[in-house]
Chain A
Amino acid sequence: MRAKTGHEDLVVWRSASGVLSAWENRCPHRGMRLSHGFVRGESLACAYHGWHFECSGRCHYIPAHPELELPRTIKPTTFDVVERDGLVWVNTTEKAIPFSLPAGATPLRSITCNTTLDALTNHIFGTTKPCSNSGCHSTTVESQQPCVLSTLLTDSSHRVYLAMQASEDHTTVVHALLSMEANETQRITVSRWLESLRREAESP
């Protein structure tokens, strides 16, 4: 899948055996976004010319030249990636050190908001009133910077963790997690609350 952090366009993919990778989203051959490619076992194949890249990023097969010995240097820029608490964490400049969430946090959903990270966090901090249609409201907001993670307490006694990912194109992806196993109704309630949060943050 495609992901964006800051100014970086990323491809994040998982091999058949479960190895996770995050790379610059650009095939070194002709610049095609690798997020349009296909996972073939332990390789990611570019959608344009079918070049195969293994989990380390190294290109090991060029279909136009099946017999060719390939230099190790043909690879996209790769980034450090870590998986924890059901989230994938990437650092595009150094080693990825994920923020630790309390035990038991389970992923709910990710949504994309057409608003900047600042505007979105300002909106969340300003929202202590009930979200009328969702049947759930936040009572306290704790910021857990610098990893842009906030927590909210809802009246259903669940904590909601929001991991926020800003992109240069003024959109923010919010990955929401719940503090404990919630039943379907509770998950739907919090999901609706997220949508109303987005609607309000996006409205001028």
Chain B
Amino acid sequence: MNSMKHARQYWYPVAMIDELQAGQQRDTQLLDTRLTLTGDDQCGLIATANEKALLVTQACDHWWVTLCDTPLPIFDLPEAQEHERRFVPCGVVHVECSPLRAVENFLDIAHFPFVHTDVLGAEPHTEVYRYDVKVDESCDEVIASNIRFFQPQAAKSAEGGIHTEYTYRVPAPMVAVLYKTCPQKPDAWDVIALFVQPLSEDSCDVWPWMALFDNESTLSELIEFQQMIFVQDRSILENQIPRRLPIDPGIEIPTKADSTSVAYRRWLKQRGAYYGALAS
């Protein structure tokens, strides 16, 4: 199966749920294809490509679209049904990089002290301790767990530095979900997800989404925090060479701290998920 055919089987985010009012229209792009989005009278969304209506669904406060008539099921995120959480769609960040590079950066913790200095990490707390990575065959997801890292300000609600624990899930090539220690509720996990809309193989729109236990921060404070983090990431993502993700070993040198990235690249390769990748 070629890379485009593979990529077209999945669902991709294109807008936040309440973004388009009835009759309102916006053009966008998905997998090199021009799309038109129109809000309809029943608070729904009509998405068309080349005058053909596309399948549309809702999940996690976003509209999702697929270019395939028989798509794979959308990923499952049970936390989206937990109504004691605060759901925070954070808007969109455009990044001139491969959608796969955006996901890989989200899975990376070793950059925190350098890119998110004094927020998600700080020198001298740079060491990445051993953690577990596996591909869960039952759900076909990359899972990284038991990741521990010192964070000066792990979340908007954090007061002072804490040792944060992270677990990552990659349920689709362009969707990554992070479960992290909740500063206000030590027995629960905050959820932060990255939904990536691939415009082309080397440009994307990123829709961060959060499901948090935080009763104090305002919505705009929470969004501002996440946008600040992502804008810092963008300065990296737009300066990686090559722009597409090298999927074969040899072009880039990983270390033990990159176990998640290594598993992610291997998982993409085994599934033929080459859209946005550079194969040698």
Contacts and interface: CB of A to CB of B under 8 A. Distances in A.
B34 interface: no
Interface in B218-263: 235-236, 239-242, 246, 251-257
A190 to B, nearest CB: 34
B241 A64 contact: no
Contact of B252 (A30, A62, A63, A65): A30
Contact of A28 (B110, B126, B253, B257): B253
A62 B235 CA distance: 21
Given A26-B241, A49-B114, A64 B236 contact: no
Nearest to B114: A50
Contact of A64 (B115, B239, B242, B255): B255
Interface in B108-151: 110-111, 113-115, 123, 126-128
A48 interface: yes
Contacts of A85: none
A74 B253 contact: yes
Interface in A127-145: none
Contacts of A64: 110, 126-128, 255-257
A31 B126 contact: no
Nearest to B115: A48
Interface in A38-93: 46-50, 62-66, 68, 74
A48 B255 CA distance: 14
A66 B114 CA distance: 15
A9 B123 contact: no
A76 to B, nearest CB: 11
A28 B252 contact: yes
A168 B254 CA distance: 30
Nearest to B246: A31
Interface string A17-39: 00000000110111111001000
A30 to B, nearest CB: 6
A167 B254 CA distance: 31
Interface string B141-166: 00000000000000000000000000
A30 B243 CA distance: 11
A63 B241 CA distance: 22
A46 B242 CA distance: 16
Given A31-B246, A50-B126, A64-B126, A9 B256 contact: no
Contact of B127 (A29, A36, A49, A66): A66
A33 B243 CA distance: 11
A29 B253 contact: yes
A65 B128 contact: yes
B255 A68 contact: yes
A4 to B, nearest CB: 12
B100 to A, nearest CB: 12
A77 to B, nearest CB: 12
Contact of B241 (A33, A47, A62): A33
Contact of B240 (A30, A62, A66): A30
A66 B110 CA distance: 12
Contacts of B242: 31
A33 B239 contact: yes
A68 B128 CA distance: 12
A9 B252 CA distance: 17
Contact of A9 (B111, B127, B241): B241
Contact of A65 (B114, B127, B251): B127
Nearest to A36: B239
Given A48-B236, A64-B126, A64-B128, A31 B114 contact: no
11 contacts: A9-B241, A28-B252, A29-B254, A30-B240, A47-B114, A47-B115, A47-B235, A48-B114, A50-B113, A64-B256, A65-B127
8 closest A-B pairs by CB: A63-B126, A64-B257, A64-B110, A64-B128, A31-B240, A33-B239, A50-B114, A26-B241
Given A32-B240, A64-B257, 17 more contacts: A9-B241, A29-B253, A31-B241, A31-B242, A32-B236, A32-B239, A33-B240, A47-B114, A49-B111, A49-B114, A50-B113, A50-B123, A50-B126, A63-B123, A64-B256, A65-B128, A65-B257
